[in-house]
Structures are given as C-alpha cells and as structure tokens.
Structure 1
Amino acid sequence: MRKLVLTRDGSFGSFAATDILKATIAIIYRQRLGQEETESLANRYLHTQEQKVRLGFEFPQRRDSFTIGRLAAKLALECHLDDVLPNDVAIGSGVFHQPIIMGASVRCCELGVSISHSDQICVAVIHHKGHPIGVDVENLAEADVVSVLSDVNARLRQQFFKLSLNEYEAASILWVGRESLGKVLTTGMTVPLKLYEPTSVSEVEAGFKLSYKTFTQYQTQVMAIDKAWLAMTFPAQTKIDFGWLRGT
C-alpha cells in the first residue's frame, strides 16, 4: 500500500486540504497469491456481506476477481484509516454498479473507492469523496487496437507519433484512460466514446498525461506497470507525487 501525496494548484473553494487531499493505493499482483493465502486474507478482511456475495458466484474466475478486488480495497482502507477494522466495512455496489463504501464509521462515509483488475494485477484507490479519483488497469488485446484507434483524429495520432508510441501503446493508453475517466464520471462506457477523446497527450514523470476538451476539470495519467497499463483520473489542478511507483 502507498499513501499518495497530493497537492493543488489553486482551488475552486475552501476545503480542509489535510482531509480531502489524501488517498491510498493498493496493488496486488495476482500471481503472487496462492489460493490458500487468498482464502485466509478473505476470511480476515472481508465483511460477512462480501463473503456471501463472493461465495455466490458460479464461476471461479469471477469469484476470484471479486475477491482480489475487495482485498485490494480493504488493504488500502486499512492503511488509509488505521482505526477502522476492514472486516467491519462492506464495499457494495451503487446504482451504476460502482463500488461504494458502507460502514458504521462516520469517517468511512466520507470516502470513495475505485477498483480495477487485469489478469495479472488488481488496483484499488481509497480517496475522499470531495476529491474524486478513478483507476483502471488493463492489458489490451492486440485484436482491439484497430477498433480503439478507428475514430482518433489525425492531430492526436500525430501527438502519439511524436512521443514515439506505437499503435498498440497508443490504443492501450486511450482505452485505459477512457475507462478511468468513465469511473470518475460514473458513466462507464455508456456514452459516445468521442466525448472521452483527449485533446492532448504529453509525457510526464510517471508516464503520459491526457487532457480533455469535454471534461476540462479532469486529467488522466497513464503509466506502464508490469505487463499492464495503469490509469488514474483525478482533478486537473491536482498534482500527485508518483514516486511510490518506483517501489512497485
């Protein structure tokens, strides 16, 4: 688990920076967890309601993905709030199937959570609801590259070219960026994808930054991690110290 260091350039109003500008990320490498260890952690960290849900899945792959996702979220929560027992808190689903934190603690009610997983990696971020963050991790299939790039304009393609990114890398960055933006907006991929198209892509310390015309209030930073791409979408005026990435 890593506590993210967030700062702001300017503000849209008054807020308690020490409360809102705080987030914690947990990354689980799925191949490092055996079945026995996974079950042990599930019994330790998951709420009885989460246990009931996961044991209700018919297919083992779906059950494992749910379990690892919830474990990542609980590990991040344990680091974020050291006075809350993770198994006292349930992470349920909202009306748009987004994960939501449900717990007796007033401090938990102030928090939001974003969860994503690929075949190899699971990521969860705990953040304050007043400072939304969406996370996504993907390993894009080669067969999807053409369809992802099919409606990308020439100007954006040229920006990717100038950054020496090949088509697979460009498509992966666009796809994972869209997914993380959709999570912040709680729209998912249910709106025309053109709305999610970035106006610019630039190189930053952690990887690449996407900026948007339609959603100017947000930015997305995308980075390569292990064999996947990790994207985090957060307010455009926020800066995150990604030094934690070097320790993963």
Structure 2
Amino acid sequence: MKYTDITTELVESDKSIPLTMSFCSLKSIDYIEDEFINTYLNMNEKDYYNKLKYDARKISFLLGRVSSKRAIASYMDCNDYQSISIEKGIFCNPIVKCNNHNITVTITHTKHIGMTAATKEFYPIGIDIEGIDKHYTKAIKTQLTDKEIQLVEQHSLGAEVGFVTLWTIKEALSKVLRIGFLTSLKTYEVERIEGNDYCINGYYKNFKMFKSTTYKIDKYLVTICYPSKCDLKLNYETVYNAIINDL
C-alpha cells in the first residue's frame, strides 16, 4: 500500500484549526502481509477483515481503515494505530474512539484510492473522491436540477467533468450532515460554482453555512466541504502530488 499524509488547516478569523489528511492506494490484496495487518487493525477489525470473502471488499475496508487511522494518528501525533477505533453510527457515518479525543473524520474511496480528513469535532467536514467517467455522467445528469445543469453549461468545465463535480460537491455535504443520500438530492442543490478548471469553489442553496472546494487531479475529482466561516488552506499542488504519488 502506498500512502501520503498531509497537514493543513482551516482558518476561522484569526484562529487556526489543524486538519490532517491521508491518501492511500492499493491495487491488489496480494501486496498485504500479516505484519501490515497487525500494525493497523485491532483484534475486532482483524476478525471482521478475515471474514470478508471478496478481495474488492477487503481492499475497500483497508483503504478506509488505514487512511483514517493515519489521518487521526497524524492529528494526535501518535503512532499507535491499534488504539484507534473507527465505528459506524446509525447512518453508517464514521465514529472515532480514541482516548476521549474530540475528533471527527470523513472517509471516501474509489476502487483503489482511499482518503480521510480529520479535525476537531467542532468543525464538521466532508470529503468525496470520484473518477471522471462519461458513462457515469449520464446517470448523474438525471439527478440534477435544471439550475444545476445550467451552472455546468455556463462554466468551462464541460458536461463530463461538470456533472461529476456537482455530484462530489453534494456527496461531500451529505457526509458533513452524516446522513448520506437518505433524503432528496434536491435538498443538496448547488447554487453557484466559481473558479478555474482545476480548482472549483461550490456554494449550496439550502446550506449556506457550508461551502466546498473541488480539485481536478488527472481523472479524479476531490471535494472537501467545510464551514463557510472558515478558509481552507490547502493548495492545488499539495492535493495533486498526493494523488499522483498514490496512482
């Protein structure tokens, strides 16, 4: 498994809030050895992992666990990954259990890339990573409002990238709210997008207390949703290098 850890920050007025991120990639379960499993998974997690029958499910589980534990460990400046436990809330949102620290994490993954961001629980955040696929964009368009389709048509992104961009902006918000897409997608309607073809800021119609930043990296889109009172100090080059390193 390859991984890249990043330390950045949210800034609220003149207050800096540390935010750590971890990017991981894994293309084959054959590369995983027992020593690696013993480093990152606790007893309950190992039992669960060993019961998984399919390699794809094992890969997605490891991408989520390793990226989240590395992001949390980086945030707390510790290397005891087994002391960190990630459990599921009632809506499958990740819950951190680690020495009573008030930390929130948000996790996302594609087929081979996993990504987690961690920060203070007082600052809700959500992330999403999606591959750009022209077949996928057709399905996404059917789930967008007329206003959102117009946003894409008016921007230089083009339909293939634009529709997936809006999807990641919505999904990142759904993770902030910790309910996923259990309500109408219209609730998450994107009111405005601005920026260039590589770094896009998104704003919501019904959730003006949040905003998002999307980075276009090769054939992937990475979106982070965070409180609109804050500025995200994460530049394009940092995200680019992290993703390219893991490809």
Pick from 208, 213, 234 the counterpart of residue 221 of structure 1. 213
> Which amino acid in the other structure matches residue 241 of structure 2?
G
The alignment status of 1:245 with 2:244, answered yes or no, reads no
Conserved 8 A contact 1:156-1:201: no
Aligned to 1:13: none
The alignment status of 1:179 with 2:175, answered yes or no, reads no
Conserved 8 A contact 2:60-2:112: no
Aligned to 2:100: 106
Residues 95 and 202 of structure 1: is their aligned pair in 2 closer, same or farther, counting only changes over 3 Å? same
Conserved 8 A contact 1:163-1:203: no
Pick from 64, 68, 78 the counterpart of residue 69 of structure 1. 64
Residues 15-48 of structure 1: CA distance to partner in whole angstroms, max 9, x if unpaired?
xx45xx12100011324x7633465332202222
Partner SS state of residue 73, structure 1: helix
Residues 91-147 of structure 1: CA distance to partner in whole angstroms, max 9, x if unpaired?
1111111111113x122xx01111111023110111111001111111154333223
Partner SS state of residue 187, structure 1: coil
Question: 1:93-132 maps to which residues of 2 (within 5 A)?
Answer: 93-103=88-98, 105-107=99-101, 110-132=102-124
Pick from 27, 48, 51 the counterpart of residue 56 of structure 1. 51
Q: Distance in 2 between matches of 1:205 and 1:87?
A: 40
Pick from 140, 147, 152 the counterpart of residue 139 of structure 2. 147
Q: Distance in 2 between matches of 1:39 and 1:210?
A: 42
Pick from 138, 147, 153 the counterpart of residue 161 of structure 1. 153
Conserved 8 A contact 2:41-2:81: yes
Q: Distance in 1 between matches of 2:64 and 2:143?
A: 32
Q: Distance in 1 between matches of 2:239 and 2:43?
A: 33
TM-score, with structure 1 as normaliser: 0.86
Gaps of 5+ in 1: 11-16
Question: 1:191-230 maps to which residues of 2 (within 5 A)?
Answer: 191-203=183-195, 207-230=199-222
Stretch moving more, 135-144 or 206-215: 135-144
Conserved 8 A contact 1:41-1:71: no
Aligned to 1:78: 73
Give aligned-pair identity as a percent: 21
Aligned to 1:30: 26
Pairwise CA RMSD = 2.2
Q: Distance in 2 between matches of 1:135 and 1:197?
A: 17
* 1:68 shift after superposition: 1.6
Conserved 8 A contact 2:29-2:59: no
Q: Distance in 2 between matches of 1:216 and 1:70?
A: 31
Partner SS state of residue 191, structure 1: coil
TM-score, with structure 2 as normaliser: 0.86
Partner SS state of residue 242, structure 1: coil
* 1:231 shift after superposition: 1.0
> Which amino acid in the other structure matches residue 7 of structure 1?
V
Q: Distance in 2 between matches of 1:137 and 1:93?
A: 20
Aligned to 2:12: 8
Residues 68 and 153 of structure 1: is their aligned pair in 2 closer, same or farther, counting only changes over 3 Å? closer
